[in-house]
Amino acid sequence: MTSDPIEVRAFRHAPVGVIVARPDGVIVAGNPAAEKLLGREPADLLDSVLFDVVHPDDVEEAHQQYARLLAGRTRVLRHECRVRLRDGQVIWVSVSVSRVLEGRDRIEHVIIHIEDISERKQREADLSHQALHDPLTGLANRALLMERIREAMSGRGRHARPSHLFYLDLNGFKEVNDRYGHAVGDVVLTQLARRIVALLRAGDTAARLGGDEFAVLCEDTDPRHAASIAERLQAAAAEPFLIDNTRVCLSAAVGSSPAQVTDPADLLREADRRMYETKRRTSSAPVPGPRTAAPTRKHS
């Protein structure tokens, strides 16, 4: 009894998924690694179409990339996309596709190497989230807020949607940290962050700028509604914070500015300035001036 040819054994025992398909994408062979990765039995994999397992949101891009390969614009197609397994789970895969030619021009088959890269994609997503979000509250940080403001301003023009930026600063938060400790202060900030998010629409952005200062960017907002939004933000901060057996009562000053400038930093400074105007009007104690330009602010 002779053993299988080395090519067959290499195909069967390859550590990554290997699929052979016709140029129209119909699968004619798949190795055990491909079957396991895609969660398919051999009978399910054969005669199915490559694009049937691709996530609907990635199908169009996959077709476009595959067309480049068939047209000879690339010798090896390297592509990343999501695929759906039979149980509904979605994973990220790296795909390398090459052509097997019959003669000089006719494509006989395509060979696909497919590898699960879900862990790498998750690490990348985690790092991206950490870079753009506040670690305590999970809200956007200053960098992400500025990016969102730039995106909102890039659509300015005749048909631009009006945007409004709100700047919120807690009154008396330092005393909370001094009296109860920073752990209680952190809980106050996280509870306030959840309250702010609960007030917003899906397209709005809530950010923590540092210490006890927050900002909210509302797009497609009628300027006439700005006052009522500011009032709701103040009410969210004024509601008592219950932490174990401790009842913490605070208030907040809110300033807002319509996005009528060209520089996101100018918009943030203007909202900050208006917040401090509000703080001066409502406080009998001296209030320092705006500090938006300072790189380091109060910390919880």
The residues carrying an active-site annotation are 212
- Report the chain's terminal Cα–Cα distance, integer Å: 75
- d(CA 296, CA 286) in angstroms, rounded, equals 22
CA distance 181 to 37: 51
Residue 121 near residue 96 (C-beta atoms within 8 A): no
| Dist. CA 184–CA 300, nearest whole Å | 9
Contacts 24+ apart (CB under 8 A), 77-82: 80/117, 81/54, 81/55, 82/54, 82/55, 82/57, 82/58
b vs e for 228-255, b when ≥16 Cβ sit within 10 Å of the residue's Cβ? ebbeebbebbeeebebeeeebebebbbb
Picking from 184, 233, 239, the residue whose alpha carbon sits closest to that of residue 213 is 233
